[in-house]
Amino acid sequence: MTTLDQLNKDGFLVLKDFYTAHQCDVLMHRGKELVKKFNFDGHPSIFQTNEQVRTSDDYFLNSGHNISYFFEKDAFNNNGALKNDLFHSLNKIGHALHDIDPVFKEFSRSSKLKELSLKLKLEKHVIIQSMLIFKHAKIGGVVDIHQDAAFLYTEPCTCVGFWFALEDATIENGCLWAKPGGHHTSLRSWFRRKKDGGTEMHLLDKAPLSMEGMVPLEVKKGTCIVLHGLLPHYSLPNTSKKSRQAYAIHLIDQTAYYPEYNWLQRKQSQLTGF
């Protein structure tokens, strides 16, 4: 069975040893350097998938063009001060790392990814967003069950995700969970901009995403997991003493219709592939 056949069958593809431990370490080190450069002005942009409407301020909506920083939902105390140091208060960095930062750009456009994209027949796909996800020990929060295509809506659905384990991902530290074949379903929602400002989660199908048959994707450092845009997946909180850093990029077919109401807007000229 080819890699493309496997992806079409399961909705995800697990590729062990895709990147070396050293390449993962370089990316994590660069992430720490970026955090040190972050001029935190007291504006807490918090990331949590089930509260996007509340947290989608101008900072979030402009992050598609920038390197932006998002905090864990419990990072601040009642007085608005950080409970921990800045680095261990962050949930993720996004969403244009692959374009702006040279270290992330090299990782995101490697010859291995180019080769993989050809095997998966993604010649017309371009990278539209990227995220460094920290999932810190003890405080890394839940990511509720969702479909990536809800956040990167195209007609037809063309969203594909590449998720890289920068550290070992286990059940204890919040690995991904997914259902084999779960992508053979409808898109449930569309996270989009409202005409009068702000954002909304527009329901396309009221049927809830099923949690039945979900399996943990426990993988080693350096693994690449390819995710179909319709595949329901989630991750639980990190209850362990070990962090679970990951890096993710998402692609769409540049020939597909990309609505102006999508939350993430970038000029066509800014979008390139591998």
* CATH number of the domain enclosing 164: 2.60.120.620
Say what the pTM is: 0.94
| R_g of the chain, CA atoms, integer Å | 18
Sign of the CA dihedral 163, 166, 171, 173? negative
pLDDT tens digit at each of 274 positions of the chain: 899 999 999 999 999 999 999 999 999 999 999 999 998 776 656 655 555 444 447 888 889 999 999 988 888 888 878 889 999 999 999 999 999 999 999 999 999 999 999 999 999 999 999 999 999 999 898 999 999 999 999 999 999 999 999 999 999 999 999 999 999 999 999 999 988 888 899 999 999 999 999 999 999 999 999 999 999 999 999 999 999 999 999 999 999 999 999 999 988 778 888 8
Cis ω for the linkage preceding 146 (within 30 of 0): no
Report the alpha-carbon distance of residue 70 to residue 59 in Å, rounded.
Answer: 10
CB proximity list for 5: less than 8 A, separation 6 or greater: none
Q: How many domains does the chain have?
A: 1
Q: Which domain holds residue 26?
A: 3-270
CA–chain centroid gap for 85, Å, is: 23
Residue whose C-alpha is closest to residue 137's, from 81, 73, 80, 89: 89
